[in-house]
A = this chain, B = another copy of it.
Amino acid sequence: MDQELINQAEGALLDLNGVFYVDETLAPGAREAVAALRAANLPRLYLTNTTTRNLDSLYRMLRDLGLPAEKSEILSPPQAAVLYLRTLGKPRCHLLLREELKKDFAEFPVSHVNPDVVVIGDIGDRWNHAIMNQAFQMVMYGAKLVALHKGRFWQVDNELRLDIGAYVAGLEYAAGHEAIIIGKPSPDFFRMALQSLGTSAEKTVMFGDDIEMDVGGAQRVGMKGVLVKTGKYRPEQEVLSSVRPDGFLDSIGDLPRLLEGRGR
């Protein structure tokens, strides 16, 4: 990728899964990349669509993987969702979330009868017709549909797996009601990240393996987007997409060399 892009960067947004690790296994060069980012003193924020862990759990996982980060350097959809829900007052929520994550939403009253909001996150393999039909009826009776993200699939062990976007899209179609998408590629989510970094959009670079969510999402708010060719990256998606990344990395392991060039 273009050395100039890195030279001019004043901040970095970093996708996690597929870039720094895949399926909780460290990506080659990931530790060195983090060390180089620290050494370069470049403000950075991990911007992840992970909805299976809360902030504490993400923090511990990064530490255990040898990728130390402050909690203030991590932004994930559950945190942003809580901020969004607060703007609605004290909405009664129906939470399609893992138990661990439900704790982060404890300030909102739970309701399974005519809730104000249906929050869709990750419930792993538990999706079934009863859950879908119940959420559908709630939305038909007036609940807002709030989705932590609308990812199409992710990659595990060289296999593509269906992500929650299928269920979000299915409910949107059936209820004729567009969901509020919290995570990437939502512009609000990227703007929240920018505010946390304190950098300007045009001098902030997003690094991610998803051409639409990471690269397209970043570009739509005026940032630069770099496609990292690991994780769920597939050459054919690049061909099919209308998004044109500002740069490419074969892996995050290539970042230290580029950051080194920055000083010169």
Contacts and interface: CB of A to CB of B under 8 A. Distances in A.
Contact of A170 (B125, B128, B170, B176): B170
B125 A127 contact: no
Contacts of A124: 129
A130 interface: yes
8 contacts: A127-B132, A132-B166, A162-B174, A166-B170, A166-B171, A167-B170, A170-B173, A176-B240
Interface string A133-148: 1001100100000000
A184 to B, nearest CB: 16
A89 to B, nearest CB: 26
A232 to B, nearest CB: 11
A162 B132 contact: yes
B173 A169 contact: yes
A152 B173 CA distance: 7
Nearest to A137: B160
A152 B166 CA distance: 15
A133 B152 contact: no
Interface string A215-240: 00000000000000000000000001
Contacts of A171: 166
Contacts of A240: 176
A119 B132 CA distance: 21
A165 interface: yes
Interface centre among A124, A129, A160, A161 (most CB of B within 10 A): A129
A188 interface: no
Nearest to A127: B129
A151 to B, nearest CB: 9
The 8 closest A-B pairs by CB, nearest first: A170-B170, A166-B170, A169-B173, A166-B174, A127-B129, A128-B128, A133-B162, A136-B162
